[in-house]
Structure 1
Amino acid sequence: MMSTTLSRRSLIAALAATPAAALAPRLSWAQAARTLTIGVVSDPVTLDPAMMASFFELSVQFNIHEPLVHVTPEMKIEPGLASVENPDPLTYRFTLKPNLTFHDGTALDAAAVKANFDRMMDPALGSPRRSELAPVDSVEVTGPTTFTIKLKTPYAPFLQVIAIRAGMMVSPTAVKTLGADFATKAVGAGPYKVVSWTKNSELVLERFDGYWRGKAPIERLVFRPIADETVRLANLRSNTVQLVDAVPAQTVAALSREANITLKQSPGLGFNAFSLNCTRAPFDNPAVRRAFVTAIDPQTVLRAVYFGTGSVAAGAIPPSIAWAYDPKFAPYKPSADAAKKLLADAGITSAVPVSITVTNSPAQVRTAEILQAQANQAGFKVEVKQIDATSLITVLRQKDFDLCMSPWSGRTDPDGNMYNYFTKTGPNNFAGYQSDKVTDLLEKARSATAEGDRAKLYREAEAAIAQDAPMLFLAFPATLQASAKGLDWVQYPDGAFRLQFARFA
């Protein structure tokens, strides 16, 4: 007993004599090896992938939920929960991996998959996935771990669609037992399971031992919403968080020189744009919409908000989808005088009042202030309205705006950037835009099988959308994220964190 006491005293003395600075990295390292804390711009709105529609669910969705197939950082499709054969354009035969389970221990079998598709496609649920799965004709269980999906018409982006939210399987048992609480306590089959969610504070996930790839290297994830970009980076520098999304573009040069931080950037798939509410004045008038779009110079936004990262957007298809992107597409030449003339030609002689709605992040507020200044010089009278990030999707869906930010994380296929936004009944058609021509073009583009044919249809659709001006396109932002130096993680073009692949070095 005496020797034990002496050894403890020796240890205490040794620790007391050790400089705190030498101890701190080791202690934080030991803690970090178990827990990764992520600073994100905003809380998600829901944890139910069938109902996800917000930009802000990106950070968490792939950590709780696993899709049927997986998309690589190079945007290639590979097996996920299932492998797939495509014997003809209308038939997809899936085979699930054996012995799959959800977080609650229930079987992830072919019957559970069918239940998921039935739920997402049920009009009563009102899932945004329903339009993404509109070409699906039937889901047939052919064995305990096999099922076949038949399409009504060829659907070129189908595998890309089920590599994200439409392919994320949830426990049918949990959906039934949790009811409305499923939105906050979702039970999936991803690498991490939900432990707790205190809204506007933290979402805690714990690794799922039954994950099909094997246990994730990091035991616990904690997502903390930190809207203020300066505070978010301060937390990264202090190691309070070890990973952050939405790195402010103006900090890229400085962060790249910091020894303890890893900065990653890549061309994104999404766009930063603003929906113009076509269902009420003043933007129910196409001439007023065209005038407003003409008044805005996206290059100014790119310089002042994105500090040269990313690229100017004239439509919804980014340069990263090279086969469909048209680098020569520039339908508007910014000009205050030209905008004034458009208003005058429409018989408008007084300043047009417009309210711009943005979330209260510095980048979005800066963007709104640029739009305000430029539009005010072109015959508009603009006010800026700031809202909380979690309120954005509600404002958009209720069309409670004149002009509202409508950022999109992007998809690996152009259909994912256009169909839901610009078809007449698209769930992301926040502008209330109604064009038979554009809807027909986008329907044809998703059913065409040759990339060349599809690219032609998308370019024709982009030209028609530009003429009608239901959306003000500004930029294709780069994906900018940063971490503590000791974290090894993979960046994806859509900006989503897939942390089953992360580990501390």
Structure 2
Amino acid sequence: MKKVLLIFISLVFALVLAACSSGDGGEASNEASGEASGESASAGSKDTLVIGLDADPPQLDPHLSSAAVDRQTFQSIYNKLIDINEDLEFIPELATDWKVSDDGLVYTFNLQEDVLFHDGTPFNAEAVKFNFERMLDPEMSSPRFSEINMISEVNVLDEFQVEIVLSEPSAPFLSALTDRAGMMVSPAAVEELGDDFANKPVGTGPYKFEERVAQSHISLTRNDDYWRGAPAIANIEILPYSDSNVRVTNLVSGELDLLNKIAYKDIESLGNNPAITLQEKDSLGFQGIHLNTEVEPFNNKAVRQAINLAIDREAITNVVFHGGATPSVSPFAPSSWAAPDFEFPNADVEEAKAILDGAGLSDISFTLKISPSPEDEQTAQMIQSMLSEIGITVEIEMVEFGTLLDQMASGDFEAARNGWSGRIDPDGNTYRFFYSDASNNYTNYSNPEMDELLDEGREIGEQAERADIYSQITDILWEDAPYIFLYHEKDYKAMKSYVKGFNHIPDTMIRTESIYFE
């Protein structure tokens, strides 16, 4: 029956896609398959790198950001204290080096000298102190708070040396500094602009902010005084396209130079297009569904467990993602050292029905909110069909991505299809989502045992011991099912063949500093 269901679903979606190809969406498929392969592969006299993103970045202040797409723009505007390389090793950025005390409580950072913010003010230890105190300010309600709330003191030792004292050892602390918690904003600009800083961001990065028109474009220009040397390309234009067909069409036609995401159906055609370079990398994130445990029907664990068992993850990855994703049972991608030794379960419709019957539940329904992408829509339709097999009715509501984030933050949802781009330390994939009252705990999940394990995972330094802790966390999340893990994406970056120097790192970010045209 499972094979019959998979074949049936595959045929349905094949017909849907075929119907779509008669409209505008079909043009993207035809062009990507090679009809436009004669497009020029030379940049000529271009002085602007045009990047197509899958959504409009909701937030340009890294200390307030909670969306992965924001980070694509941040890589150009800001520098971090520490970065990572292709092997996920820490490398210096604004911090030239650092040392950690034997008790794991004191971190001393030496800083780059002669670095200026885009407004001409100096980067130094005082600026670092300002940034951390800003993120820790309760009135700011920064999503970064849960990443760095173990900091008890930030002390300026001299102009280019800063000491950070923790209240308790924190194994993931350095990894947090490779992302938004380590991004340094201009203290002078924050004090001058206040809440308007998010509309006029100022960092130390290779490109300066010029202009933003919401849902239209973000314009950046080269920082000629950049401390590592001015980048090769003069300007960057960042354009949002929620429709993956439109993104691919514009890439192949030459309107765009680089995409942060492609539709999985286009993997083969783009890979065969001589005018396009397609890069693949295992990523660190997870994708799935947040279930609001404070509202019906998800305040009943039996409903969550039944849904968890009824979904055929393998069918979703085969039909929707064409092999560009792997089924998921935890927050940890296969590339993570915390990935569980967890036998992948097949969908079990009969067991899911038995759970609901045993709890005396029937006539269950809920609304699943999704962002406007073909993959989300197809995934939601498959889940809708699968859950109908156990008597659960699913209504699908499509919501603009930024609005979806706002609704998740305010609790205005029953179920929401949203994922996480991933972090190099497993704490970054768990604590913020599953610790009671943490910044991104959209499911309102609270379990004292989970809180205790998450605290232990932060305090213990040995990787083997931590791996055991995260294995226990995986088991509890599978049992309680506040979040339905569906799949781990592979990261694909597509660019014109004249775009060179792109450094593909598993955090999936576009680092523009090294890119040039050939």
Q: Give the TM-score range, shorter chain.
A: over 0.9
- Whether 2:476 is the aligned partner of 1:461: answer no
1:84 Cα deviation from its structure 2 partner: 1.3
Counterpart position of 1:54: 67
Q: Determine the structure 2 residue equivalent to 1:326.
A: 340
Cα distance in 1 for partners of 2:472, 2:397 equals 34
- Secondary structure of 1:216's partner? coil
Partner of 2:77: 64
8 Å CA contact retained: 1:339, 1:379:
no
Question: What does 1:64-463 align with in structure 2 at a 5 Å threshold?
Answer: 64-82=77-95, 83-88=97-102, 89-321=104-336, 323-330=337-344, 332-348=345-361, 350-463=362-475
Corresponding residue to 1:493 among 506, 509, 516: 506
Query: When the two structures are superposed, what TM-score results if normalisation uses the length of structure 2?
Result: 0.90
1:16 equivalent in structure 2: none
Deviation at 1:56, TM superposition (A): 1.8
State how far apart, in whole Å, the 2-side matches of 1:129 and 1:114 are: 15
How many residues are treated as equivalent by the alignment? Answer: 479
Letter paired with 1:480: Y
CA contact (8 A) 1:343 1:379 kept: no
Q: Which AA in structure 1 matches 2:288? A: A
Secondary structure at the counterpart of residue 406 of structure 2: helix
AA matched with 2:147: E
Report SS of the residue matched to 2:397: strand
Question: 2:495 — aligned with what?
Answer: 483
2: CA distance, partners of 1:327 / 1:217: 45
Q: What's the offset of the Cα at 1:87?
A: 3.3
CA RMSD of aligned residues (A): 1.5
Once residues 191 and 73 of structure 1 are traced to their aligned partners in structure 2, the CA distance between those partners, rounded to angstroms, is: 20
One-letter identity of the residue aligned with 1:131: S
On the 8 A contact 2:150/2:167 being kept in 1, the answer is: yes
Q: Distance in 2 between matches of 1:365 and 1:461?
A: 30
SS at match of 1:142: strand
Deviation at 1:353, TM superposition (A): 0.8
Aligned residue type for 1:29:
A
Higher deviation after alignment, 303-312 or 477-486: 303-312
Q: Which amino acid is the alignment partner of residue 70 of structure 2?
A: E
Letter in 1 for 2:468: K
The structural deviation recorded for 1:333 is 4.0
CA distance in 2 between partners of 1:216 and 1:282 (Å): 53
| Contact in 2 for aligned 1:267/1:310 (Cα 8 Å) | no
Report the Cα distance in structure 2 between the residues aligned to 1:352 and 1:87, rounded to whole angstroms: 55
Mapped to 1, the partners of 2:305 and 2:340 lie a distance apart of 21
Q: Which runs of 5+ in 1 are unaligned?
A: 1-20
Contact 2:129 2:154 in 1 (8 A): yes
Kindly indicate whether the alpha-carbon contact (under 8 Å) linking 2:330 and 2:340 is maintained by their aligned counterparts in 1.
Answer: no
| Counterpart contact for 1:102–1:108, Cα < 8 Å | yes
Whole-angstrom CA distance in 1 between matches of 2:389 and 2:211: 50
Poorly superposed stretches of 4+, deviation over 4 Å: none
Aligned-residue sequence identity (percent) comes to 34
TM-score for both structures, normalised by structure 1:
0.93
Higher Cα Rg, which structure: 1
Conserved? CA contact 1:287–1:346, under 8 Å? yes
Residue 406 of structure 1: CA displacement?
A: 2.1
Structure 2 residues without counterparts, runs of 5 or longer: 1-35
Q: Matched residue of 1:477: which SS?
A: strand
Closer, same or farther: CA 435–31 of 1 in aligned 2, 3 Å: farther
Conserved? CA contact 2:432–2:440, under 8 Å = yes
Counterpart for residue 14 of structure 2: none
Give the aligned partner of residue 40 of structure 1: 53
Q: Contact conserved, 1:351 with 1:379, CA < 8 A, in 2?
A: yes
Give, in whole Å, the separation in 2 of the partners of 1:438 and 1:114: 32
Quick check: 78-87 or 231-240, which moved more?
78-87
> What amino acid is aligned across from residue 374 of structure 2 in structure 1?
P
Please give the per-residue CA displacement for 1:160-204, whole angstroms capped at 9, x wherever unaligned.
101110000000110111122111111011111100001100000
- In structure 1, distance between residues paired with 2:71 and 2:268: 25
